[in-house]
Amino acid sequence: MTIDLEQNIQYLKGVGPTKSVLLNKLGIFTIRDLMEYYPRVYEDRTKLKSISEFVNDKQALFIATVVAPIKVQRIRKNLVIYSTIVSDDTGVCKMTWYNQTYIKTKLVEGEAYLFYGKVDLGRSRASIDSAFIYNVKDLDKIQGIYPIYPLTAGITQNYLFKLENEIYESDILVTDIFSDEFRKRYSLAEVNYAMRNVHFPKDFNAINVARNRIIFEELFLFQLALMSIKNSGIGVKKTSVYQDIDLRPFLNLLPFELTNAQKKVVLEIKKDLTSDRVMNRLVQGDVGSGKTMVAALAMYMAVKNGYQATMMAPTTILASQHFDELSKYFERLGVSTALITSSTTKKNKREIIEKLKNNEINILIGTHSLIEDDIEFYNLGMVITDEQHRFGVKQRMKLSAKGNTVETLVMTATPIPRTLAIILYGDLDLSIIDEMPPGRSPVITAVRDEGSEDKINHFLKSQINEGRQIYVVCPLVEENEELDLKSVEVLYDRYKNDIFREYEVEFLHGKMKNKEKDEIMQRFKENKINILISTTVIEVGISVSNATVMVIENADRFGLAALHQLRGRVGRGKYQSYCILKSSNKSVNARERLKIMEKSNSGFDIAEKDLELRGPGDFFGIRQSGMPEFKLANLLTDASILKSSQEAAKEVIMNDKNLEREEHKKIKEALLQKFGEQLNNIAT
Ligand code: ADP
Ligand code: MG
C-alpha cells in the first residue's frame, strides 16, 4: 500500500474526524507529522520476567494467569476500582485498575495474559496499578524497546503505538535528501532506517544512530535556511574596501578612555572594514560594558568612508538615549545625525526622509520605524542592531536590504550560551567585551521575602535622602497591557499614597504614549523623580547613573537573564548600587534560582544556568527571534551534531549558493517545504 506523506491524518485507518481533532492538538495534521512525532523516551521491555524476579519500583513485562474473580468496588461516584490476583509458577501479584470499565469483560478468570506495569513490592506480595494488558500471542510485537510518546487527553500510548505501526506496516518509503556520499561523509544513517528505528528500535544502539540522523537533518535544514536568507551570505566580497580612519578626533572628545576590551573590539571591527570581505560581527558584552561607544566608532568609520550608517534599538526610550548621547559628539565632528521613532511627527519624518535620500543625514538612529518602506538611504553602508535578541533575524535582514553590500554589527547584552549563539548567529564573527569601565563596583544583590518589607522601604528612603534614585519593576502579569497597567497602578498607588508619600513617585508602562514615556524618562534623568515604577519597558539599555537601587517585585516570575538585564540598569555610575529581588515564592526551586543572582554578576554564567533551568524554548528572547521548536534536537545536549551539521550546511551553501546542483535538489525541496514561506518573505 502506498501512502501520501502529505495526506490528512484523518483518513488513516483508525483515526477519523474525532480522533484527528485530538491528534491536531499534538501538532499532527498529516502522515508526515505522525512520522515525525517522535518518542520522548523508550521503555526497556526486552526481557520477559517471572513474578519472583520483580524489582520494586521497576517496570516488568510478564505472563500470568488470572486466578481470582474480578472484584469491583464502587468507592464513590467517580471512582470504581477493579482488582484481581494473577499468578505464574513463581508467585502471585495483585492487579488494580481505576475506572477502567472494560477490565470486567476483558479479563477472564483462568486465562493467561501478557502484562506490563510498574511493580510495587509491598510487605506481603507484589502489586501493580494500571498495568497494560495484551494478548499472549502478541508477545512478539510487544516485547522489545517500547516508545513513549508525549500525550494529550483522549490519546493513549497504545493508540499512538498502533498508528505509528500502521504507517510502518504500509512499507512507506521516504526519499533521502542526502546522497550516499554525503551520508558517508557525515556518518549518517539512511532515512528510512532512521525513521523506523526511532519509533521501533531493534536495540538501544539503533536509537542513537536513528536519532543522530534525524537531529542532523533537522539542524542542517534550519541552518541552511538561515544561511540562505542572510543575503549577506558568508564571506561576500565588497565592492570597495574601507580606508583606515584616524579615530583620534572622536576619541579626544570622550570624557573617558576606552577600556582595553573596547579597544580590542574596535580593532576587530577596523580589520573587518579594511578587509575585502563584508563585516558580519556580533558584539557581546555584559550590561554596562560600553557597547554603544564601540558602535559609534564603527559608524564614524563608515561615515568617514562616505557611507551612511544606521543603528536600530528596540524601544523609543533607548533609541532616544543613544541619539542624545551620540549626536552631541557627532555634531562636533561635523557628522549629521537624526532620530526616527514612532513618536516622530509626520512633518519631521518627511523632512528626515528627504535629507536621508540626499545624503544630508549621515547617521540615522531609531526603532523598528527604520525598517518601514518609505525610509530610503542614499548609500547605506553599515547597519547596527542594538540589543539584537529583541529583534528577529528578519528585521535585521530587512534593514540591511536597504543598502547594497552592508557591513553588519549586532550587539547584545544577553550573553547567549554557545550552542544558541551557533544557531542564531552561526554566520557571525564574535567579539566579546569582557571588561567593565573602571570604577564600577559590582551591584550588591539580595533576595528578600515579604517579611523584610519595612527594612527595604527604610533602606530605599535612606538612599533617596542621599540623593540617589530608585527603580521598582513589576513583572508583566500577562501579555495583556490593560492588566499589566493595572498591576503597575496598584503598586504605584501603594508607594505614592502610602509609604513614600513625601517623595516623587512616577510610573512607566508600555501602554503609554511614547511622548509621555519620554517625558517621564527625561524627568527621571534630571533627578526630578525619586522612584520610578515600571514594567519591563525599562529593561533594556537605559542609563541613568544616579539610580542606585533596582527593586524587582515577584522576582521569581522573571527569567534569570531578564533579571540580570534589569539589574544592569543600576551600578552605572560611581555609587555603590543594589538590586533587591522580592519574592514570596517558597518553593525550593524558585529560591535556588534567585540565589544564583546573589552569587553571580556575570551575565554569561547566569545565561548558562538559565538555559539549564528553563530549557531553550523559554530562554529569554528566543521566541521573538523566530526560532522554531525542534522536533527532536535539543540545543543543550546536541551541540556536537549542531556543529557538524553547521559545517555541512556551510559547505553546501559555499559551493552551490542557490542549491541548483542535481545532488542538492532534494535538499532544496525539503528546505522549501519546511521554510518556504519564511524564505520568500525575506527574499523581497
Ligand atoms: P552597554 O554595553 O550596556 O550598552 P553603554 O554603552 O550604555 O553600555 O555604556 C554604559 C555607560 O558607560 C555609559 O554611560 C557610557 O557612557 C559609559 N562608558 C562607556 N565606555 C566607557 C569607558 N571606557 N569608561 C568609562 N565609561 C564608559
Ligand atoms: Mg546598550
User: What is the best residue among 326, 543, 566, 574 to mutate for testing ligand 1's pocket, by most ligand atoms within 8 Å of CB?
Assistant: 543
Angstrom distance (rounded) from CA 108 to CA 264: 79
Beta strands in 496-584 (DSSP E): 505-508, 531-534, 547-552, 578-582
pLDDT confidence of residue 130: 92
Ligand sitting nearest the alpha carbon of 289: 1
Residue nearest to ligand 1 atom 9, measured at CA: 290
Centre of ligand 2 from the C-alpha of residue 292, in Å: 6
Q: Whose CA is nearest to atom 12 of ligand 1?
A: 290
Q: Which range among 90-94, 99-103, 516-520 has the greatest average pLDDT? A: 90-94
* C-alpha cell at position 481: 497591557
Separation of alpha carbons 171 and 188, rounded Å: 21
User: Which residue, by CA, sits nearest to atom 16 of ligand 1?
Assistant: 290
* Atom nearest to 285 CA in ligand 1: 2
Ligand 1 atom 4, closest CA:
291
Closest CA relative to residue 387, chosen from 532, 310, 286, 518: 286
Lowest mean pLDDT across 472-486, 502-516, 544-558: 472-486
In angstroms, what is the span from residue 412 Cα to ligand 2's centroid?
8
Query: Which residue's alpha carbon is nearest to atom 20 within ligand 1?
Result: 290
What pLDDT score was predicted for residue 419? 61
Least confident range of 70-74, 97-101, 484-488:
484-488
Among protein residues, the one with the nearest Cα to ligand 1's atom 10 is 288
Going from the Cα of 683 to the center of ligand 2, the distance in angstroms, rounded, reads 30
Nearest Cα residue to atom 19 of ligand 1: 290
For ligand 1, atom 26: residue with the closest CA: 437
User: Do the beta carbons of residue 128 and residue 118 sit within 8 Å?
Assistant: yes
Interior CA angle at 266 toward 260 and 269, to 5°?
A: 145
Which ligand is the nearest neighbour of the Cα of 283?
1
Which ligand gives the minimal distance to the CA of 258? 1
Report CA-CA distances (Å) from 179 to 185, 190, 194: 10, 9, 15
Residue 422 has pLDDT above 90, yes or no: no
Q: What is the pLDDT of residues 514-555, one digit of tens each?
A: 778 888 888 998 999 999 998 876 656 577 889 999 999 989
Identify the residue whose cell numbers are 507529522. Answer: 33
The answer to whether 642 and 215 have CB atoms below 8 angstroms apart is no
Residue 511: CB atoms within 10 Å: 13
**Which pLDDT does position 615 carry in this prediction?**
59
Protein residue whose Cα sits closest to atom 15 of ligand 1: 290
Greatest CA separation found in the chain? 98
Q: Name all residues whose Cβ lies below 6 A of ligand 1.
A: 256, 258-259, 262, 285, 287-293, 413, 437, 541, 543, 572
Q: What is the percent of the chain with per-residue pLDDT over 90, rounded to a whole number?
A: 48
Grid coordinates in use for 51? Answer: 513474578
Atom of ligand 1 nearest to the CA of 433: 2
Report CA-CA distances (Å) from 255 to 334, 359, 568.
19, 30, 22
Evaluate if residue 234 carries a pLDDT over 60: no
Comparing C-alpha atoms, which of 415, 403, 341, 382 is closest to residue 621? 415
Ligand nearest to the CA of 284: 1
Mean per-residue pLDDT of the chain? 86
Task: Give the per-residue pLDDT at 629.
Answer: 66
Share of the chain above pLDDT 70, in %: 89
If you write DSSP's letter for every residue of 144-176 in order, what string do you get?
EEEEE----TT--HHHHHHHHHHHHHTT--PPP
pLDDT for res 678: 56
What is the mean predicted confidence (pLDDT) over 450-460?
92
pLDDT for 243 equals 92
| Rounded Cα gap, residues 514 and 510, in angstroms | 9
247, 292, 569, best to mutate for ligand 1 pocket (most atoms within 8 Å of CB): 292
Cβ-count burial 205-238 (b if 16+ within 10 Å, e if not): ebbebbbbbbbbbbbbbbbbbbbbbbebbeeeeb
User: pTM above the 0.85 mark?
Assistant: no
- pLDDT value at position 439? 79
Strands 578-582 and 505-508, by their bridges, are unpaired
Number of the ligand 1 atom closest to the C-alpha atom of 545: 14
Question: Which of 208-217, 235-244, 445-454 shows the highest mean pLDDT?
Answer: 208-217
* Residue 390, pLDDT above cutoff 80: no
What is the four-CA torsion angle of 196, 202, 206, 208, rounded to 10 degrees? 90
Q: Band the pLDDT of 276: cuts 50, 70, 90.
A: confident
- Given pLDDT bands bounded at 50, 70 and 90, which one contains residue 420? low
- Cross-strand partners of 470: 531, 549
Alpha-carbon gap, residue 426 to 645, rounded angstroms: 11
Report which ligand 1 atom has the smallest distance to the Cα of 287: 3
pLDDT at 506 over 90: yes
| Closest ligand 1 atom number to CA of residue 293 | 6
Average pLDDT estimate for 238-261 = 93
Question: Which one, of 236, 365, 352, lies nearest residue 295 by Cα?
Answer: 365
Kindly report the backbone phi and psi dihedral angles of residue 59, in degrees, each rounded to the nearest multiple of 5, phi listed first: -75, 150
Q: Best of 250, 256, 539 to mutate for ligand 1, by most ligand atoms within 8 A of CB?
A: 256
Is pLDDT of 292 > 70? yes
- Name the band, by pLDDT with cuts 50, 70 and 90, for residue 425: low
Q: What's the Rg (C-alpha) of the chain?
A: 31
Amino acid present at 667: I
Residue 619 binned pLDDT confidence (cut-offs 50, 70, 90): very low
Q: What is the pLDDT of residue 681?
A: 42
Q: Give the pLDDT band of residue 623 (cuts 50, 70, 90).
A: very low
Q: Which pLDDT does position 280 carry in this prediction?
A: 86
Segment 346-357 shows an average pLDDT of 96
**For 217, how many CA atoms within 13 A lie in the half-sphere containing its CB?**
28
Measured in whole angstroms, how far is the alpha carbon of residue 522 from the centre of its chain? 33
Residues 577-600, mean pLDDT to the nearest whole number? 90
What angle, rounded to 10 degrees, do the helices at 665-683 and 204-229 form? 40
Among residues 511, 575, 510, 521, the alpha carbon closest in space to that of 543 is found at: 521
Mean pLDDT score, 211-234: 79
Cα of 291 to ligand 2 centre, how many Å?
6
The answer on pLDDT for 192 being more than 60 is yes
Instruction: Please tell me the predicted confidence (pLDDT) of residue 426.
Output: 65
Residue type, 315: T
Confidence of residue 370 (pLDDT cuts 50, 70, 90): very high
Q: Name which residue sits closest to atom 14 of ligand 1, judged by CA.
A: 543
In this prediction, residue 653 carries a pLDDT of 85
pLDDT of residue 236: 65
| Residue 606 confidence class, pLDDT cut points 50, 70, 90 | confident
Q: Is residue 173 within 8 Å of 25, Cβ to Cβ?
A: no
Say what the pLDDT of residue 241 is: 85
Q: Which of 254, 289, 329, 574 to mutate to test the pocket of ligand 1 (most atoms within 8 A of CB)?
A: 289
Å from CA of 436 to ligand 1 middle: 8
Atom of ligand 1 nearest to the CA of 294: 6
Query: Rounded to the nearest 10 degrees, how much is the dihedral formed by the CA atoms of 341, 345, 347, 350?
Result: 10
Q: Which H or E element spans position 394?
A: helix 393-400
| φ, ψ for residue 428, nearest 5 deg | -100, 145
Q: Which of 537, 237, 571, 238 is nearest to 390 (CA)?
A: 537
Ligand nearest to the CA of 565: 1
Q: Which contiguous run of DSSP H or E holds residue 82?
A: strand 79-88
Supply 393's cell numbers: 533575524
Average pLDDT over residues 490-501: 89
Which mutation among 253, 293, 567 tests ligand 1's pocket best, with the greatest number of atoms within 8 A of CB? 293
Question: Which numbered ligand comes closest to the C-alpha of 294?
Answer: 1
Summarize pLDDT for 648-660 with one digit per residue, the tens: 998 898 888 888 8
Report yes or no: 419 and 642 within 8 Å, Cβ to Cβ. yes
Half-sphere exposure of 336 (CA within 13 A, CB side): 9
Give the span between the Cα atoms of 653 and 230, in whole angstroms. Answer: 11
